[in-house]
Every structure is written in C-alpha cells, then in structure tokens.
C-alpha cells in the first residue's frame, strides 16, 4: 500500500481542491447570494460541498486501490455495468430528457457515469491482452 502513495500525484490533487473551492465560490456568487436557501439541504453551496467531500473520499480510495485488482475483476465489472444499465433503463427516472437518473432523497445519481469509467477498465483489459488481434474488425465488433 505504501507503493501506491509513493506515486500519488499531489499537484493534481491540489488542482482538484482549488477547482472545487472555486466552484463553491462561483455557485455562491451566482445564485446563493441573491436567493438564499430556506433549508441547509437546499443550499447549493452546501450540496456542492457534500459532493466535493464525497468526491475527495473516492479520490483517495481510488489512489489507494491497486488497479490490478480491477483488471482481475474485469468480467464481474462488465456484468455489473450491464446490470446497472438495465436497472436504470427499467427503474430510472427521466431528468433533462434522459432516463438515466436515480433519485435518492434530495439527490439524483446518474449511474451511467460510473459505468463509463468502469467500461474503460474492461476495454483496457480486453484490448490489452496479447491474444487480441487488433488488426481485424473482430475486437471492434465484440466491444
């Protein structure tokens, strides 16, 4: 686990932190200053801060995770992607013209965004195998 932190990209983390703080300031100046929220959960700056905190936790978890584990689990990840997309198709709610959202209390979640990232891992494993003949159209048709 120490080897993962040795390669931690501190400048990228600091840039992410600065952008999150700047985003909160811009949300406050554009909306909250003129129309204050009635409850804490309606406060857009507070909500943005919650999402930023959750994103930072996921950022550190991803940095601590050995990506070889994801490569070994590529078949299960693909199955998870298919299941979550089918559940979204069946039970998802329509927001902004797309049935790709789940409403959880006061928040909406778009599982397809997670699926995009996981699909990159699955395709990297599949296309990275030495047995894949990338000169033929077969791998393109399968993926």
Adjacency order of strands within the sheet including 98-104: 93-95, 98-104, 107-109
The answer, yes or no, to whether residue 42 has pLDDT greater than 60, is: yes
pLDDT at residue 107, as a whole number: 73
Of the pLDDT bands very low, low, confident and very high (cuts 50, 70, 90), residue 35 is confident
Residues 123 and 141: their CA atoms lie apart, in Å, by: 13
pLDDT, tens only, 1-13: 456 677 778 898 8
Mean pLDDT of 7-35: 86
CA distance 74 to 70: 6
Strand partners, 103: 108
């Amino acid at each position: 686990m120490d080897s993962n932190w040795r390669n931690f990209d501190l400048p990228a983390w600091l840039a992410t932190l600065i952008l999150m703080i700047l985003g909160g300031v811009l949300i406050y100046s554009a909306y909250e200053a003129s129309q204050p929220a009635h409850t804490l959960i309606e406060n857009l700056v507070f909500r943005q801060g919650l999402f930023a905190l959750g994103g930072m936790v996921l950022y550190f978890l991803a940095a601590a995770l050995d990506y070889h584990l994801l490569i070994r689990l590529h078949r299960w990840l693909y199955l998870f992607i298919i299941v979550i997309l089918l559940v979204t198709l069946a039970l998802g709610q329509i927001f902004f013209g797309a049935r790709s959202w789940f409403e959880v209390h006061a928040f909406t979640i778009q599982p397809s965004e997670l699926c995009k990232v996981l699909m990159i891992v699955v395709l990297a494993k599949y296309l990275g195998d030495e047995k894949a003949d990338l000169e033929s159209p077969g791998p393109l048709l399968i993926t």
